[in-house]
Amino acid sequence: MTERAVNRSVVIPPDVHVVRDNIPLDDQTQPIQARACRVDSYSIVVVRSAGAAVDRIASFLPRGSRVAIVTDETVRRRYGAAVCAALRSRGHDVIVAAMRPGEASKGVDTAVALLNWLAESEIGRRDMLLAVGGGVVIDTAGWVASAYMRGLPYVNVPTTLLAQVDAAIGGKVAVDHRLAKNLIGAFYHPTAVVSNIGYLGSLSARQLRAGLAEAIKKGVIASADLFDFIECDLHLILAGDSGVLYRLVRHATAVKCRLVGRDPYEHDLRRPLNFGHTIGHAIETVTAYGPVLHGEAVAVGMAAATRISHARGWTEHALHTRLLGLLRRAGLPVTLADLQAPVDAEEVIGALAKIRLIRDGRLRFVLPVRLGEAAIVDDVTDAEIRQALDASVPVAAAP
Ligand SMILES: NC(=O)c1ccc[n+]([C@@H]2O[C@H](COP(=O)([O-])OP(=O)(O)OC[C@H]3O[C@@H](n4cnc5c(N)ncnc54)[C@H](O)[C@@H]3O)[C@@H](O)[C@H]2O)c1
Ligand SMILES: [Zn+2]
């Protein structure tokens, strides 16, 4: 073996990785500044079949890596087993954990159980976590990935419309706390996202509509074209037309990427993406994260924010009519009375007061003005909220 002389007394073989530094002593005069710069970028792939999805997932896995799949019981039965078998046939050692389906599982207990499972399975940072499921699985698995060994790489494989157009993109990962939704979380981006339209074929009509609410939201706040597209092709979307769903997922994904790319770590708390979520989160909290779907709560929240804005004279009449009409035509709730669980307006206002306390005394509302324009305010009063929640809305004519 040839050897490289470093000095007379020390000889290190050439294939050994050597690190050198020579940092001078601190001059004791300047403030000491720490820096941590990092740019995250990742591919989001939209495919139309399970076979194509597995091919793309496999392309993001390091050779010979172990794969820890986090899913829920419903998705495991439908799709998880096939993903698992396909990755094993490509030479990966695959382990699977399935959560109980539903928002009630998106808590610290589930996250701790998953962390224990990863540790006991001796998954390491060169391995990969695969989150296969709806937003509940994706948010929980993402947070677990962020915490395990200070960051395990993960790939999102969203299987609901809501997760494909929203939850899987942006790196916001979290679990719920009984006092507030998504209270315990982080920003932690995936290595890639693989959205397969084929998975949406087994979604219930209710779940499909709930996902659509998050796509409509993006149209209102940032893309008149997306809003027009949904309005025009609504019947095909609701019928589960895979060609139209493919276009919807791509359009909504692109809009979300543009929006989060401007401020990926949410330094500015005035976020239009929160449209419908102030009241939406309060509804989810008072119904104990169960009977009301996230997208349904957001739909009521969007309708209420639009009424508040309209009552202030801030929303164009045409937008008020079109948005409430579109939500109704999509079969989404626009009042508390439309929800499948009884929700009292005063309880929602009480939950908002608690959220206000947690968020430095401010409760931000996104009030739509016209398509692509929203006002973000923190002076909405309980009386305005009460009026917007109690309103019995005239059904707007479909355009
Ligand atoms: N991180 C973010 O940026 C972000 C954005 C929006 C929403 N979210 C979160 O997403 C969550 C809601 O996500 P969701 O609506 O996908 O709910 P979910 O994950 O509970 O899925 C809904 C139901 O559909 C089932 N399911 C999933 N895929 C299926 C399929 N292909 N066929 C049949 N059934 C299927 C699931 O088992 C579950 O019962 C909320 O917790 C919300 O806070 C996060
Ligand atoms: Zn949401």
> What's the farthest any 2 CA atoms get from each other in the chain?
90
Q: Give the ligand with the smallest distance to the CA of 200.
A: 1
262 is catalytic: no
Q: What is the pLDDT of residue 330?
A: 98
- Cα distances from 279 to residues 181, 351, 355, in angstroms, run 12, 9, 10
User: Rounded to two decimals, what is the model's pTM?
Assistant: 0.92
Q: What is the pLDDT of residue 4?
A: 55
Split the chain (399 residues) into runs of 10 and give each run's mean pLDDT: 61 92 91 88 97 97 96 97 95 97 95 98 96 98 98 98 97 91 94 98 97 98 97 98 98 96 85 95 89 96 97 94 98 95 94 85 93 95 93 46
Q: What is the pLDDT of residue 390?
A: 80
Residue 23's Cβ-count burial label (10 Å; 0-12, 13-18, 19+) is: exposed
Q: Are 214 and 165 in contact (CB under 8 A)?
A: yes
Q: If you take atom 13 of ligand 1, which residue's CA is the nearest one?
A: 135
Can you tell me which residue has the tokens 């202030």? 312
CA nearest to 246, candidates 256, 235, 258, 236: 236
Is 75 close to ligand 1, i.e. is its CB under 6 Å away? yes
116 is catalytic: no
Q: What is the C-alpha separation between 367 and 355, in angstroms, rounded?
A: 18
Closest atom of ligand 1 to 139 CA is: 1
Which of 209, 218, 277, 310 is the catalytic position? 277
Q: Which residues contact 354 (CB under 8 A, 6 or more apart)?
A: 179, 180, 285
User: Residues of 318-354 as b/e, b for ≥16 C-beta within 10 angstroms?
Assistant: ebbbbbbbbbbbbbbbbbbebbeeebebebbbebbee
- Cα distances from 261 to residues 48, 220, 248, 256, 348, in angstroms, run 26, 18, 20, 8, 32
